[in-house]
C-alpha cells in the first residue's frame, strides 16, 4: 500500500471513529474554553479577614485603615482573642488573621524597639494567600518607611534629610510577562500545549488498540509515514488555533511573533506523534489509551517544571522529563508566547527559544527511529495468515 493510500485511509479511520473524532477535534478545542472559563477571574478581591488588635493604638488603627482600603481584602470582624479568630478561620468565614500584640505602640515609640505584627493566611487556596499576604506586605513597607522617618527626626535629623536617607534605595514593582499577576495567564499557555500532547497520545493509542483488536494493524514503514502524515496534517491546523489564535482571543499575554509559533509547532507535533506511535505499539485494546491519558497528564505537567519549580524536582524525575516532548514544548511555547523570545536571537530580557526548538527536533528524530525499530520488530513477530 502506498504512503498516500495509508494517509487517506488513516484520515478516514479518524473521522469514521466517533470516539477518536471527539478526542482529536472536540476535546482539543473544548478543553481550552473550559480552562479559560474556570480561570476567567484571575484575581480575587475583598477577601474577608479578621483582626486581633490587643494594642488598640492609633498606629494599629492607621495600619488597618490602609490595609482595608486596598481592593484585595475586607476587614469583617474584630476579635477579642486569637481563639475566636482561629475559629472563624476554621469555619471559612475569614481567610486571614492579623494580630497586633499589646506592646505594639510602645515598641514603635522606642527608637531602638522592634514592633511585630503576625499575619495568618488561609493556605487552602493560593489566591486567598496571595491577596492577604501581598496587600499586607505593601502596607507594611509603606508604614516602615514612615516609621524610619519619624525615628530619624527623633534623633535630631532634618525632615528633608531623613526623607532623602530613606529614599536612598527606592524601588518599583513591575510584573514581567503576566501584568495581571493572575494564575490563569501563567497556567493556560502550558495547558494548551499539554492538551495537544495528551489528545494526540490518547487518540493514536485508541486507533492502535482498535487495529489490534480487529487484527488490522500494519507495521510497515509506509504505514508509519502515512499515519504520521495524517496526524500531523490534522493537528497542525488544530495547533495553529490553540497556540496561535486562542491566546489572542483570550487576551492571554502573547509577546512572541506568530511566525516563530508556526515554526515551533512543527517539531513539537512530530515529536509527540512519533512518541505516541512508539507507545501505541504496546497498546493491546482500545480502552488502554484512557488509562494512559488519566495516569500521565498531571505527571507530565509537574515533571515539566511549569506548575512546580524545577529545582524542587528530584534529579531522576527531572532527567526523565527531558524524554517527554511536552517538557520542551511547554517551556519553548511559554518563552515565545509569554516572554517574547525568538527562535534565533535574544529579545530584551528573554533568551532565544532555540534550545527547546533544537531539542524537539532531536526528540522527533529519536522517536522516529525508535518507532521504525518497534514497527520492524512487530512486523517480524506478527504471525502470517494461514493459507485457505
Model pLDDT for residues 63-73, shown as the tens digit of each residue: 899 888 888 89
Domain ranges across the chain:
3-39+180-381, 47-166
**50 has which bridge partners?**
77, 97
More confident position, 160 or 339: 339
Mean pLDDT, residues 227-235: 94
Of the listed ranges 136-145, 190-199, 226-235, the one predicted with least confidence = 136-145
Query: CA end-to-end span of the chain, whole Å?
Result: 22
Count other Cβ atoms within 10 Å, centred on residue 346: 11
Q: What is the DSSP letter of 38?
A: H
Rounded percentage of the chain residues whose pLDDT exceeds 70: 84
Mean pLDDT, residues 83-89: 91
Per-residue pLDDT at 38 exceeds 50: yes
Confidence of residue 277 (pLDDT cuts 50, 70, 90): very high
- Find all residues with CB under 8 Å of 369, minimum gap 6, and list them: none
Per-residue pLDDT at 350 exceeds 50: no
Per-residue pLDDT at 370 exceeds 90: yes
More confident position, 205 or 345: 205
Among 179, 187, 210, which Cα is nearest to 289's? 210
Q: Distance between CA atoms of 297 and 304, rounded to whole angstroms?
A: 11
How far lies 339's CA from each of 32, 83, 189, 307, in Å? 20, 46, 11, 17
Largest CA distance in the chain: 109
Distance of CA 379 to the CA centre of its chain: 41
pLDDT digits (tens, 9 = 90+) for 87-128: 999 888 999 999 998 888 887 777 677 778 889 888 777 778
- Find all residues with CB under 8 Å of 311, minimum gap 6, and list them: none
pLDDT of residue 273: 96
pLDDT of residue 348: 46
pLDDT of residue 209: 86
Residue labelled with grid coordinates 494461514? 386
Per-residue pLDDT at 176 exceeds 70: no
Per-residue pLDDT at 157 exceeds 80: no
258 and 246 Cβ atoms separated by less than 8 Å: no
Confidence of residue 168 (pLDDT cuts 50, 70, 90): low
Among 352, 307, 324, which Cα is nearest to 201's? 324
pLDDT of residue 163: 62
pLDDT of residue 274: 96
Strand 96-100 and strand 118-121: the pairing is antiparallel
pLDDT of residue 52: 92
How far lies 110's CA from each of 57, 114, 147, 254, in Å? 15, 8, 11, 51
Q: Beta strands of 55-163 (E only): which ranges?
A: 73-78, 96-100, 118-121
Q: Distance between CA atoms of 99 and 64, rounded to whole angstroms?
A: 11
The DSSP result for 331-362, as a single string, is: HHHIIIIIT---SSS-BTTBPPSHHHHHHHHH
pLDDT of residue 233: 94
pLDDT of residue 131: 85
Q: What is the DSSP letter of 121?
A: E
Q: Distance between CA atoms of 67 and 75, rounded to whole angstroms?
A: 9
127 φ, ψ (degrees, to nearest 5): -70, -40
Confidence of residue 276 (pLDDT cuts 50, 70, 90): very high
CATH superfamily of the domain spanning 47-166? Periplasmic binding protein-like II (3.40.190.10)
Per-residue pLDDT at 386 exceeds 80: no
Q: What is the mean pLDDT of the chain?
A: 83
Confidence of residue 270 (pLDDT cuts 50, 70, 90): very high
Amino acid at each position: 500500500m502506498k504512503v498516500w493510500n495509508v494517509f487517506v485511509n488513516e484520515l478516514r479511520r479518524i473521522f469514521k471513529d466517533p470516539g477518536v473524532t471527539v478526542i482529536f477535534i472536540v476535546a482539543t478545542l473544548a478543553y481550552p474554553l473550559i480552562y479559560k472559563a474556570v480561570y476567567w477571574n484571575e484575581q480575587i478581591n475583598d477577601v474577608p479577614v479578621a483582626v486581633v488588635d490587643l494594642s488598640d493604638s492609633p498606629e494599629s488603627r492607621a495600619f488597618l485603615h490602609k490595609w482595608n482600603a486596598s481592593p484585595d481584602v475586607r476587614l469583617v470582624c474584630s476579635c477579642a482573642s486569637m481563639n475566636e479568630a482561629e475559629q472563624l478561620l476554621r469555619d471559612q468565614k475569614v481567610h486571614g488573621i492579623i494580630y497586633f500584640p499589646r506592646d505594639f505602640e510602645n515598641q514603635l515609640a522606642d527608637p531602638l524597639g522592634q514592633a511585630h505584627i503576625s499575619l495568618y493566611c488561609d493556605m487552602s487556596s493560593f489566591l486567598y494567600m496571595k491577596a492577604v499576604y501581598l496587600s499586607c506586605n505593601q502596607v507594611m513597607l509603606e508604614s516602615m518607611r514612615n516609621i524610619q522617618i519619624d525615628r530619624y527626626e527623633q534623633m535630631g535629623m532634618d525632615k528633608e534629610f531623613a526623607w532623602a536617607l530613606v529614599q536612598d534605595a527606592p524601588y518599583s514593582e513591575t510584573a514581567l510577562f503576566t501584568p495581571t499577576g493572575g494564575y490563569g495567564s501563567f497556567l493556560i499557555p502550558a495547558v494548551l500545549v499539554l492538551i495537544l500532547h495528551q489528545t494526540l497520545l490518547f487518540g493514536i493509542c485508541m486507533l492502535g488498540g482498535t487495529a489490534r483488536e480487529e487484527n488490522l494493524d500494519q507495521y510497515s514503514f509506509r504505514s508509519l509515514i502515512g499515519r504520521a502524515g495524517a496526524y500531523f496534517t490534522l493537528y497542525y491546523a488544530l495547533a495553529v488555533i490553540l497556540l496561535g489564535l486562542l491566546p489572542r482571543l483570550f487576551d492571554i499575554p502573547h509577546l512572541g511573533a506568530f511566525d516563530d509559533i508556526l515554526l515551533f509547532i512543527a517539531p513539537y507535533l512530530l515529536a509527540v506523534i512519533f512518541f505516541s506511535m512508539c507507545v501505541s505499539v504496546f497498546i493491546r485494546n482500545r480502552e488502554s489509551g484512557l488509562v494512559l491519558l488519566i495516569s500521565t497528564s498531571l505527571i507530565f505537567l509537574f515533571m515539566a517544571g511549569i506548575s512546580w519549580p524545577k529545582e524542587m524536582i528530584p534529579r531522576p524525575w527531572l532527567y526523565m522529563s527531558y524524554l517527554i516532548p511536552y517538557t520542551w514544548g511547554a517551556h519553548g511555547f511559554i518563552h515565545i508566547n509569554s516572554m517574547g523570545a525568538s527562535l534565533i536571537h535574544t529579545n530584551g530580557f528573554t533568551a532565544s527559544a532555540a534550545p527547546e526548538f533544537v531539542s524537539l527536533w532531536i526528540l522527533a528524530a529519536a522517536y522516529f527511529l525508535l518507532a521504525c525499530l518497534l514497527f520492524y520488530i512487530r512486523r517480524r513477530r506478527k504471525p502470517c495468515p494461514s493459507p485457505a
